[in-house]
Structure 1
Amino acid sequence: MKTIYVSGHKNPDMDCTVASHAYAYLKNQIDPDNTYIPIRCGALNDQTKAAFKKADCPSPALYRELIPTVGDIARKDYISLPSNAPILDALELLYTRNISFIPVFNFDGFDGTVSINEVSAYLVRQSSTGRPVYSFSSENIPEVLPGQFIVRGTGATFDAPIMTGAMPFDIYLKRMKRLEQKPILVVGNRRKILEHAVNNQLPAIIITGVEDSAELDTDFSSFQGSVYLSGTDSAESIRLLRLSVPVHTIVNRNQPRVGKDESFEDVKRQLMSSEFRGLPVFDDEEFYGIVTRRRFIEKPVKDLILVDHNEIHQSVPGAKEANIVEIIDHHRFGAEKTNTPIYIASKPVGSSSTIVYQHFRMNFEDIPRHIAILLQSGIISDTVYLKSPTTTEEDVRALKELSILSGLDSETYATEMFSQLKALKERNPKDVVLGDFKTYHQFNKDVGIGQVEVMNLEEASEMISNFHEALKAVSRDKQLDWTMLLITDVMKEHSVLVSSGYTPAEKKLIYSSMDEHSFDLPHILSRKKQLLPEVLRVLEEISS
């Protein structure tokens, strides 16, 4: 199953956001073998927030960039161990499964990791220090040591060194006195030594060289520890006892953790420059999976559907590295070449929401009320309630049916929607410019055009100088030759164009000048269909 992201353009407006959400919903219905996630790559305006609130559904998640992350390569089918598992289990898994490390879990969740490094260090410590003391678990002994209990002690866990009883009784007594802590005793059927062990209440006795407990004539009735009849010799019993120790005693709890949304490249550098064979991956505080060095051999590529745009530079940062699998759009086409054929639905209609609505009908899928509200919102917004010159009969028909499905009268809803427009004086001029901003590269010039909708143009005339300065700042920041802001009165179908001061182009515009850097545009509503063709005509003329 693949994860496929569905995204609108930068500086998301109503149409691209609701269309992305609705199209992802549709794709999840008709293609259950994949998961489609709607995303946005910028802040939402108040109108769009209100539409999602009215539809009673969450807006798409914010993605500042769409780059390969650790989550894309993390293994979720990892092999793990409980913290009380014997070290032998870890050693066998590391060797037989050829894995780099194993996550270990206790009752509270993730405890740490164990790799061949921790196992090796454990074995080396046994040989390089004095007599080691081990943390034993009675439950683990039969897991690693063939045989059976003939007495089950009261202590489930205990710390003890290991001592063998393969010696005369007097020497055994001398050796026992030297120990600071009672040992677990590995011994054959030596009656005196066994009786001493019982009388001194050693924590456990491992008896070797005896096939049947009936051979023993030692009374264990008063013994509080465990007595285990080993099915192997003393040397092997001691070796396996050491490996019965619970794995939590050697886990690495200081290993760095990485988040699933961290950059693939950043974590690759971190891991390759460290001593670790792999790293645990978390989703906030919840364990998500693991990554090993082998997972970084091939860089993952994300699948992406472009909605309401088709040019990579208008898309979410990182889209250039993504695999574009579909395009749903109603703008002029300037898409880059793809490596394989892809599905493209591009129509000269007034809204991408109309195209998404038509895809529901093409696939005979019902449109639930919350999706109908969102698509209705997109069409009303992008066609300025069917007043924009981009409006087609297809938009009209779609809006009519969506109104029936949503139960919202479109005219009433449009009035409500446009009444939510904030006064320009309440907003930062630069934020207004960038709120719905698109860039174009034509005739060796880089141009940016923002658009903002208002309820009246009177306040716009008072702020033209502020917008002019904001446009110049945006030109510098984005290294653009010419930047403009189209301020549109959606009810009176009238706009004002403010320019950054690109004099050679401004002189050739057909519009009436209001002052040095602003123009009057009666009956102009559409940036795409009305303003952009004039801008391109001017650029072509000054380039020749």
Structure 2
Amino acid sequence: MPEGIRKVNVIGHLHPDTDSICSAIAYAHLKNEIEHTTIYEPRRAGAINRETAFVLKHFNFNEPELITSVTPQIKDTEIQRQGGIDGEMSLFSAWNLMREAKADTLCVTDDENNLEGLIAVKDIANANMDVFDMSVIGESNTCYANIVDTLKGEMILGDPTGRVTSGSVRVGTTPEMMEDTVKPGDIVLVTNRYETQQFAVESEASCLVVCCSAHISSKVISSAERHGCSIITTPYDTYAAARIISMSIPVRAKMLREGILKVSVNTSVDDARKMMAHSRHRFFPVIDENSKYVGLVSSPNLLAAKKKHVILVDHNERSQSVEGLEQAEIMEIIDHHRIGSIETSGPAYFRNMPVGCTCTIVYMMYRENGVEIPKDVAGLMLSAILSDTLAFRSPTCTQVDRDTAAALAKIAEVDIDEYADEMFEAGADLTGRTAEEVFNSDFKIFSRGNVKFGVGQGSYMTERSRKAAEKLVGPYLAEAAALEELPLVFYLFTDVKSSSSEVLWYGEGAEDIVARAFDTDPENGMARLPGVVSRKKQVIPALMATLQSIQEDVL
């Protein structure tokens, strides 16, 4: 196993059937056992059908998590784990933190790590340049502790946890000059002149800031205590203190609250790149699946996004796989279908065998690696073989499939005939199902030359359930073709016990294609195909050959 791989997604095809789901679970378990790890995780590429739901429930498995795309996501980039800050932090402290962290953006969070806002260097710079806003400290309800910290001062009198609620910042010069400027509630910066200090106190100033660490007489302190005036001393001179005191306001007063551009850990890198291209910001907050803040990301981080690692089971057709496969690292393909259109960026382990089910191959790999098959996993693998081979009736079924099923049934302690009937009946149950649900329960897209077409299949134990499915799905084929953007759609309704199928279709020339492919005479929009039960071996090759012939005739 190469180093640095966080997780490997084991994925079946779109519109997953029982083999697609069960082989993903069984193969992920095998890989974890072989490599003594837990990084291999089964995934599903769509909603599971009722047959598969029955199988999972019967053997006490949960549905694999849904995955619709394997394009790199924000979680695959280098997220800068810059912690959130308290909205009460002063602008001065935030600026210092930015210098230490070499960041120009900080995120403001609450006690539960919910994102409340963000503050950037330019926000602090703009606040610092607004020299005429003398009332900002009071309007921001600034805590005295922030003022003390910003001025590197000491609180001689008053409560550090108290807040400035009104007033402006004034510079005290002489009593004569202060008489018309200092108002009740103001913060007054003074030096060592006793009369200036005392006048400010008697003018009902809310706070006296004594610069240059000047001496404060006991009389001024006593007077300030009587008037409810706080006293702070600072080593800064009046000029420096006047310039920097406004930086004591909390970041919540200047942070961006509305319209914050943020990304989720699950946002694709492509979508994030588009968003960032239309923003003047350099850094963007990242939130997790629970909308909690986790860090920051910038455009350069997106360039180094790691590819997702995937193993494909039960398919090797690009049209049947999840989105973004070209941006992923395909490590392995385990399949039993024809070799299709998927390309890999590098060498990959590819195992393709002419057997009836992917789980038959997976069973071989368990044996080859000497890994014991758990009872519940054996039940899943048996179910997949029974489903794909139509309980050994399909022409794709080999003696290897039969022998494998017998071995798995023994491990799972299952009677094959009884269980197969029960499984197929569960899958054929149409109670409460829509045409779309039945249609998508097992539907795949193929291509021949410049023609794309879709073929679906449903398997039924009784004629009654098969006819009900035909009545439900038939009228939906036109809508399905439009939704899938396909010119041709074919759907097989297979009678398991009689080993025959009836096919419905939609699309220009579809009836003629069916007639030529299966040498049959369709009647009333339907063709009966005795002995045809395998989409892979009997239907797809015939349709491919016919479409190829039609294209050659045109040329």
TM-score > 0.5, shorter chain as reference: yes
Tell me the equivalent position of 2:96: 92
Measured in 1, the distance between the counterparts of 2:414 and 2:469 equals 36
**1:343-400 CA-partner distances (Å, limit 9, x unpaired):** 2232333222333444455555565555444333323322223443333455445444
251-260 or 401-410, which deviates more: 401-410
CA contact (8 A) 1:191 1:218 kept: no
Name the CA shift for 1:235/1:405 in 2 (closer, same or farther; >3 Å).
farther
1:264-275, aligned counterparts within 5 Å? 264-275=269-280
Q: Distance in 1 between matches of 2:144 and 2:106?
A: 23
Indicate whether 1:5 and 2:46 are aligned.
no
Residues of 1 paired with 2:82 and 2:414: CA distance? Answer: 50
**Cα distance in 1 for residues equivalent to 2:109 and 2:486:** 55
Shift of residue 487 of structure 1? 1.9
SS at match of 1:487: strand
Work out whether 1:488 is the aligned partner of 2:489.
Answer: no
Q: 2:122 aligns with which of 114, 117, 121?
A: 117
* Deviation of the 1:66 alpha carbon: 4.3
Work out whether 1:249 is the aligned partner of 2:247.
no
Q: 2:47 aligns with which of 43, 46, 55?
A: 43
Q: Which residue of 1 aligns with 2:221?
A: 220
Mapped partners of 1:476, 1:132: distance in 2: 61
User: Which letter does structure 1 place at the counterpart of 2:92?
Assistant: L
Rounded to whole Å, the distance in 1 between the matches of 2:522 and 2:467 is: 9
Which one-letter code corresponds to 2:186 in the other structure?
P
SS of residue matched to 2:338: coil
8 Å contact kept, 2:457–2:535: yes
Question: What percentage of residue pairs aligned between the two structures are identical?
Answer: 26
* Residue pairs, 1:344-423, within 5 angstroms: 344-360=350-366, 367=373, 370-396=376-402, 398-400=404-406, 402-403=408-409, 406-422=412-428
CA distance in 2, matches of 1:488, 1:318: 33
1:452-471 pair list within 5 angstroms: 452-457=458-463, 460=466
- The one-letter code of the counterpart of 1:115 is A
CA-to-aligned-CA distance 1:388-439 (integer Å, 9 cap, x gap): 3333455445444544554544443322211113367986667645432223
Distance 2:120 2:325 in 1: 37
8 Å contact 2:9–2:40 — kept in the other structure?
yes
In structure 2, the partner of 1:186 is: 189
What letter matches 1:531 in structure 2? V
Mapped to 1, the partners of 2:147 and 2:160 lie a distance apart of 15
Partner of 2:329: 323
The superposition leaves residues 188-237 of structure 1 with CA deviations (integer Å, 9 ceiling, x where unpaired) of 333334445556664433333348x7x85446367255433323333333
Is residue 213 of structure 2 the alignment partner of residue 205 of structure 1? no
CA contact (8 A) 2:83 2:294 kept: no
Q: CA deviation at 1:146?
A: 3.0
**Contact 1:511 1:519 (C-alpha < 8 Å) held by counterparts:** no
Q: Give the corresponding residue for 1:342.
A: 348
What amino acid is aligned across from residue 115 of structure 2 in structure 1? F
**Residue matched to 1:163:** 170
CA deviations over 1:271-310 (Å, ceiling 9, x no partner): 3323433433434643354333444556764433322101
Partner SS, residue 515 of structure 1: coil
Gap change, CA 1:91 and 1:526, over 3 Å in 2: same
| Range 233-242 or range 10-19, more displaced | 233-242
The separation in 2 between residues aligned to 1:154 and 1:468, in whole angstroms, is 77
Instruction: Name the amino acid aligned to 2:342.
Output: E
Q: Which amino acid aligns with 2:540?
A: L
Q: 1:179 to 1:219 in 2, by over 3 A?
A: closer
* 1:73-106 deviation per Cα after TM superposition (whole angstroms, max 9, x unaligned): 4725134322222212322344454434211112
Q: Which amino acid aligns with 1:164?
A: V
Residue 59, structure 1, aligned to residue 57, structure 2: no
In 2, the alpha carbon distance for the partners of 1:347 and 1:14 equals 18
**Native 8 Å contact 2:505 2:511 kept in 1:** no
Unaligned runs of 5+ in 1: none
Letter in 1 for 2:351: A
Spell out the pairing of 1:10-29 with structure 2 (5 A cutoff): 10-27=14-31
Deviates most, 180-189 or 248-257: 180-189
Name which of structure 1's ranges 13-22 and 26-35 shifts more when overlaid on structure 2: 26-35
CA contact (8 A) 1:198 1:220 kept: no
Residues 517 and 364 of structure 1, relative CA distance in 2, 3 Å threshold: same
- Secondary structure of the 2:337 match is coil
Q: Quote the offset at 1:248 in angstroms.
A: 1.7
Given that 1:489 and 1:495 are in contact with CA atoms closer than 8 Å, whether structure 2 keeps it comes out as yes
1:418 and 1:455 in contact (8 A); partners too: yes
Instruction: Let me know the Cα RMSD of the aligned residues.
Output: 3.8
Alpha-carbon distance in structure 2 between the residues aligned to 1:32 and 1:244: 55
Q: Secondary structure at the match of 1:227?
A: strand
Aligned residues, how many? 537
Partner amino acid for 1:188? T
**What's the CA shift string for 1:135-155, capped at 9, x where partnerless?**
432333453333434445265
Q: Verify: 1:528 aligned to 2:536, yes or no.
A: yes
TM-score normalised by the chain length of structure 2: 0.81
Residue 45 of structure 1 and its aligned partner are, at CA, apart by 1.3
Contact 1:6 1:20 in 2 (8 A): yes
CA–CA distance in structure 1, aligned partners of residues 211 and 435 of structure 2 = 87
Q: Distance in 1 between matches of 2:67 and 2:96?
A: 42
- Unpaired segments ≥5 residues, structure 2: none
Give the counterpart letter for 1:208 in structure 2. Answer: C
Q: 1:473 to 1:207 in 2, by over 3 A?
A: closer
